[in-house]
Chain A
């Protein structure tokens, strides 16, 4: 079923933007290329312009500027029913007056395909709904409806499948299951998937490439691991997982490393991992993921190997959550330093009130421009 790559499934957005009649700009001019056959996620909080971008690819929204190309074809001004693109809508938008079979057959019938029976039955088998063919959408569960929506779109063999928060209405367990299911289907049919979601875990589990959007712009684009390990803005650092961000001042440069001053101590940051300009005396934000940090009781501080970044502090809170323990540590550089420690060998002295040393490899440190809002993309800000 896999199509030969002829780039006809590439999605190319150039300078595309959307400003509504009321003056609200949902999408700032952006360029984006989604390579054929990839699973691409547009990730962002609500109102960041991700759904508008998706709707412009579908043709349901007319861009205010720029072009949409599918492969070599310019589809900017084509109506949705003339684009080789199909959408899985949020809340599915199944036709309530038609049964499952007719819902799935809808696209084929509209294109004048005479015998739809075989294809519809095959497609219903693919999503394991062969038994439910003659039921109406409201008689199915949420997960089943979701699969019908996917089948209804996929049966048309679109060049690109667009998914608008397809798992948003499902409960957590079903969502995990459907994530794997969708990933399996995508690998099987080899169609380009563009997936809109606000769930960072969902984007990271499913997508080959993730574009993080904020305020109508793409903040950063890359593979999930790349985005997670090397965030280039505070928004990405905070929105994808959790980051500890420390304000620091550039002291000296030492070969490929930058030495920074923060709260009386010194931290080392590889220059390659810093997206901000680093002139001596300038400010940068130093970031470190909570799970990269090791925690040692202050009495054992001597056993910490040389060359690691260190910060001293006092445990403010510890919560045991099974696989790991999450600590909140009060330090001179940051009063809510998050540390996730795996429960391999638990040190009984690490309880709230204990003095500790936090240490990590400089290679795990990243540097960001200090001119940004340090809380961008955190849950506190969103609330």
Chain B
């Protein structure tokens, strides 16, 4: 009986830990194998500890080139989708115009549609237009599917904003531009930031749509996919681990900053 009681009291904690383990296990495997020294071309079996790959992360031909392309596309797709998506959100919430309802539902289609369908139709479109496949076609495709996510995130924020706040700003001598910069934008910022982060992550790891519309350009996910058929260099694990650590670092820093700010105030 004491065992049952002990379990009962800690059920939530245990379930939480198990879920966390389930989520993090793949990351642990990736990290562990980034220190492996595989015998063959495949990095699937543990052989011996080595930091060779960490010392020479760009040692594999073309890998860092594709990483750089992926990062560039992710940055520009984030900028483009966030800008457009924020403007769309404000238009949808603030104004009543023709076809507003239609736009409102159409904007979410890319989220609901199977990626492979979108990829194929985009390719058809680009081919019919005679567009040169490559960096720009990938960028256009990424901005398109990131838009829906930005709109979802920003719209929720704008809708919950009290319209009196902007009235109060105008009442307190802020013109339209000042009102937007000093009140509207800062209050919408968390939504915009969430949309931007989502965009970056989605763009960076997209494979299906990118693969269809890349032409001869190779992004990082495409490189990983390609090498997985011929042999996986340890460096892929190094990049993966590094990305994971950078993300964790970001989260921790922001948490520390918020905590410190709250403590100063109290």
Question: Any chain A CB within 8 A of the CB of B217?
Answer: no
Chain A residues, CB < 8 A from B173: 81, 107, 110-111, 156
Question: Any chain B CB within 8 A of the CB of A134?
Answer: yes
Nearest-CB residue, chain A, relative to B175:
A81
Task: Please determine whether A86 and B165 come into contact, CB atoms closer than 8 angstroms.
Answer: no
Question: Any chain B CB within 8 A of the CB of A80?
Answer: yes
Chain B residues, CB < 8 A from A81: 170-175, 179
Question: Any chain A CB within 8 A of the CB of B169?
Answer: yes
Interface residue from A93, A110, A156 paired with B167 (Cβ < 8 Å):
A93
Interface residue from B162, B167, B178, B189 paired with A60 (Cβ < 8 Å):
B167
Task: Please determine whether B164 and A89 come into contact, CB atoms closer than 8 angstroms.
Answer: yes
Which residues of chain A from 116 to 160 have a CB within 8 Å of any chain B CB?
134-136, 139, 152-153, 156
Question: Any chain B CB within 8 A of the CB of A2?
Answer: no
Which residues of chain B from 167 to 225 have a CB within 8 Å of any chain A CB?
167-175, 178-179, 182-183, 186-187, 189
A129, chain B: closest CB distance, angstroms? 14
Interface residue from A93, A97, A99 paired with B162 (Cβ < 8 Å):
A93
A87-B265 contact in complex given A81-B174, A97-B187, A111-B173, C-beta closer than 8 Å: no
Number of interface residues of B (CB under 8 A): 21
CA separation between A91 and B163, bound complex, in Å? 12
CA separation between A152 and B179, bound complex, in Å? 16
Interface residue from A79, A94, A97, A136 paired with B170 (Cβ < 8 Å):
A79
CA separation between A245 and B154, bound complex, in Å? 57
A87-B168 contact in complex given A97-B187, A134-B265, C-beta closer than 8 Å: yes
Task: Please determine whether A60 and B265 come into contact, CB atoms closer than 8 angstroms.
Answer: no
CA separation between A253 and B156, bound complex, in Å? 70
Task: Please determine whether A135 and B170 come into contact, CB atoms closer than 8 angstroms.
Answer: no
The proximity string for B residues 120-156 relative to A, scoring 1 for CB distances below 8 Å and 0 otherwise, is: 0000000000000000000000000000000000000
CA separation between A139 and B164, bound complex, in Å? 20
A87-B187 contact in complex given A93-B165, A95-B165, A110-B178, C-beta closer than 8 Å: no
Task: Please determine whether A110 and B187 come into contact, CB atoms closer than 8 angstroms.
Answer: no
Question: Any chain B CB within 8 A of the CB of A237?
Answer: no
Which residues of chain A from 28 to 84 have a CB within 8 Å of any chain B CB?
58-60, 79-81
Task: Please determine whether A106 and B162 come into contact, CB atoms closer than 8 angstroms.
Answer: no
CA separation between A135 and B182, bound complex, in Å? 18
Chain A residues, CB < 8 A from B165: 93, 95-96
Chain B residues, CB < 8 A from A97: 186-187, 189
A138, chain B: closest CB distance, angstroms? 12
Task: Please determine whether A135 and B265 come into contact, CB atoms closer than 8 angstroms.
Answer: yes
Task: Please determine whether A60 and B170 come into contact, CB atoms closer than 8 angstroms.
Answer: yes
CA separation between A156 and B169, bound complex, in Å? 13
B170, chain A: closest CB distance, angstroms? 4
CA separation between A111 and B171, bound complex, in Å? 12
Interface residue from B168, B174, B187 paired with A89 (Cβ < 8 Å):
B168
Nearest-CB residue, chain B, relative to A90:
B164
Nearest-CB residue, chain B, relative to A82:
B173
Chain A residues, CB < 8 A from B167: 60, 80, 87, 89, 93
Which residues of chain B from 35 to 71 have a CB within 8 Å of any chain A CB?
none
CA separation between A134 and B265, bound complex, in Å? 6
Nearest-CB residue, chain A, relative to B185:
A97
Nearest-CB residue, chain A, relative to B190:
A97
Chain A residues, CB < 8 A from B164: 89-91, 93
Interface residue from B162, B172, B175, B179 paired with A107 (Cβ < 8 Å):
B172
Interface residue from B169, B186, B264 paired with A106 (Cβ < 8 Å):
B169
CA separation between A110 and B178, bound complex, in Å? 8
B259, chain A: closest CB distance, angstroms? 15
Chain A residues, CB < 8 A from B265: 99, 134-136, 139
Chain B residues, CB < 8 A from A58: 171
Chain B residues, CB < 8 A from A79: 170, 175
Task: Please determine whether A80 and B187 come into contact, CB atoms closer than 8 angstroms.
Answer: no
A111, chain B: closest CB distance, angstroms? 5
B61, chain A: closest CB distance, angstroms? 49
CA separation between A343 and B165, bound complex, in Å? 50
A259, chain B: closest CB distance, angstroms? 56
Chain A residues, CB < 8 A from B179: 81
B19, chain A: closest CB distance, angstroms? 31
CA separation between A95 and B182, bound complex, in Å? 10
Task: Please determine whether A93 and B168 come into contact, CB atoms closer than 8 angstroms.
Answer: yes
CA separation between A58 and B171, bound complex, in Å? 7
Which residues of chain A from 269 to 311 have a CB within 8 Å of any chain B CB?
none
Task: Please determine whether B183 and A80 come into contact, CB atoms closer than 8 angstroms.
Answer: no
Chain A residues, CB < 8 A from B183: 95
Nearest-CB residue, chain B, relative to A85:
B171
Chain B residues, CB < 8 A from A94: 168
Nearest-CB residue, chain A, relative to B167:
A60
Chain B residues, CB < 8 A from A135: 265
Chain A residues, CB < 8 A from B187: 95-97
CA separation between A156 and B172, bound complex, in Å? 8
A167, chain B: closest CB distance, angstroms? 16
Among A91, A110, A111, which residue has the most Cβ atoms of chain B within 10 A?
A: A110
Chain B residues, CB < 8 A from A80: 167, 170-171
Question: Apart from A60-B170, A81-B175, A139-B265, what 10 extra A-B contacts exist at CB < 8 Å?
Answer: A80-B167, A81-B173, A86-B172, A87-B171, A89-B168, A93-B167, A94-B168, A96-B165, A110-B178, A136-B265
19 contacts between A and B (CB under 8 A): A58-B171, A81-B171, A85-B171, A86-B171, A90-B164, A93-B165, A94-B168, A95-B165, A96-B165, A96-B187, A97-B189, A106-B174, A110-B172, A110-B173, A110-B178, A110-B182, A111-B173, A135-B265, A156-B172
The 6 closest A-B pairs by CB, nearest first: A93-B164, A107-B172, A93-B168, A110-B173, A80-B170, A97-B186
